Each structure stands twice: as C-alpha cells, then as structure tokens.
Amino acid sequence: MTDALSSVTELKRGLLSDQIYELVKTMIKEGSLVPGEQLVESQLARRLQVSQAPVRDALKQLAHEGLVTHVRHQGNFVSSYSDEEVAQAKVARAELESIAGRLTCGDLDADARERLEQLIADMHAAAEAKDLGTFRELDFAFHRGVIEASGNVYLPRMWDIIEPSLRALHVLGDPSFPGDWHTVAEWHRSLLEALDAGDPESAARLFYAHAAGTLMPDETDDAGA
C-alpha cells in the first residue's frame, strides 16, 4: 500500500513538473523571463503555489535543453547568448527550416495550410496597424507551424532550443527593418506557395534562403514559383 501511494505521489509530482516546465519555457520564449534573469526555486514555487521539488525538476529539464543555465554555487539563470552563439543559432535555424521545407512540401494538409494562410492575413493586418509586436509573434507562429507540419517530432523540439536566442536578438521581426512589413508578409506567402509546388528541393532552398536572410524582395515571385 505504501509503495502504491508513493508511486501515485511521484506521478503527480511528475505531471506537475511537466506543467511547470511548459509554463517556464513559454515565459522564456515570450520574453517575460529575460536572458540573464535568475530563477530562484523558492520564489518560483511560491509564485506557482507548489513545492520546490517539481520546480527543481522542471529547471533541470530546461537546463538540459539549454534554455536555462545552472551556475554552481549561484543557481539557475535564463540562458544568455553571445554574438557567436546567436550566429550559430541562425545557421542552425536555416538548416532546420530547410529540412522542414523539404519534408512538408507536397504533404501540407488542408487544416495546416488554412492556419498558415490565416497567419499571413493576420501579418498584413498587423502591418497595417503598425503593430510590430503582434507581427513578430505571427512570424514565429508561421515558422513553427511549418516545422510542426513536417511530421517529424524532433524538429519542434530543436526549434524550441534555438527560438529564445532568435527572440533575444530580434532575428525575426527585427524592429530596425526599414522596409514595408506587407512585403515581409508576402515573403511568407512565397514560402507557402513553395510548399504547394511539389518540388521538395526547391522548397528547401527557399526556406534556407529566407532563414539565412539571403532572400531579397524582388526574388520572391521567381523563388515561389
């Protein structure tokens, strides 16, 4: 009986740890927990009204994924990124999106395509309202949507690892971009058209060029064909 109760307790703790892990990961990705910020177990536990054990488990998992850095004798911190690490994240993103473009091309189901179309329409609305914050979130949602549509369960996990560094340096939705945000939205339409075109290698090249920043506005018509 005691062993059974212990197992149930561990299960509940495990489920709670998973929920805390998802919550803290979302807060890191959305920027409410910023790079370099200390994550104190006791403070998080009080804030979430839980014991410290599941918080500790969640932070260990986040540290394993690189979203949190554990410094001995100092504690846990939201991971910060050097210029070199951000440059490496850009390279990883380009390769990851190239793979996603190749895998998704020709296999995009109707529901996923509709979601991506709606995201593009919402980008235009955000551009019209000059709401860069919303535009940026839609941009991230579009790229993650393609990653998820690839059907490969490992690609979203890899995206989760690099996304915080992309956010930290405004790799997507760069506020210093001097051009027309409607044009940026249409770049995404060219990506969607490439997924429909049935040429996986062309889709892979286009997604790579977009992520690497080598896709120019006047190239989208040809590239998306």
| Cα–Cα distance measured from residue 88 to residue 205, given in angstroms and rounded to the nearest whole number | 19
pLDDT above 50 for 11: no
Please check whether residue 166 is in contact with residue 172, taking contact to mean a CB–CB distance below 8 angstroms: yes
pLDDT at 7: 39
pLDDT above 50 for 91: yes
State how far Cα 154 lies from the chain centre: 13
Choose between 215 and 181: higher pLDDT: 181
Please check whether residue 185 is in contact with residue 120, taking contact to mean a CB–CB distance below 8 angstroms: yes
Domains present along the chain, CATH in parentheses: 2-78 (1.10.10.10), 83-223 (1.20.120.530)
pLDDT above 80 for 37: yes
pLDDT at 175: 57
pTM above 0.85, yes or no: no
Q: Which amino acid is at 69?
A: T
pLDDT at 142: 96
* Tens of pLDDT, residues 105-157: 999 999 999 999 999 999 999 999 988 878 988 999 999 999 999 999 999 99
| Start-end of H helices in 49-153 | 52-64, 83-104, 110-128, 132-149
Bridge-based pairing of strands 68-71 and 38-39 is unpaired
Q: If DSSP codes are grouped into helix, strand and coil, which group holds residue 67?
A: coil
Q: If DSSP codes are grouped into helix, strand and coil, which group holds residue 39?
A: strand
| Cα–Cα distance measured from residue 163 to residue 122, given in angstroms and rounded to the nearest whole number | 21
The CA-based angle 140-114-190, given to 5 degrees, is 60
Please check whether residue 98 is in contact with residue 211, taking contact to mean a CB–CB distance below 8 angstroms: yes
- Of all residues in the chain, what percent carry a pLDDT higher than 90? 51
Taking all residues of the chain, what is their mean pLDDT, rounded to a whole number? 84
Nearest of 68, 23, 223 to residue 161 by alpha carbon: 68
Please check whether residue 215 is in contact with residue 206, taking contact to mean a CB–CB distance below 8 angstroms: yes
* Tens of pLDDT, residues 147-162: 999 999 999 999 988 8
Q: Exposed (0-12), middle (13-18) or buried (19+): which is 216, by Cβ within 10 Å?
A: exposed
Please check whether residue 27 is in contact with residue 65, taking contact to mean a CB–CB distance below 8 angstroms: no
Please check whether residue 78 is in contact with residue 36, taking contact to mean a CB–CB distance below 8 angstroms: yes
Q: What is the dihedral of CA 64, 67, 70, 74, to 10 degrees?
A: -160
* Tens of pLDDT, residues 43-72: 999 988 889 999 999 999 899 877 899 999
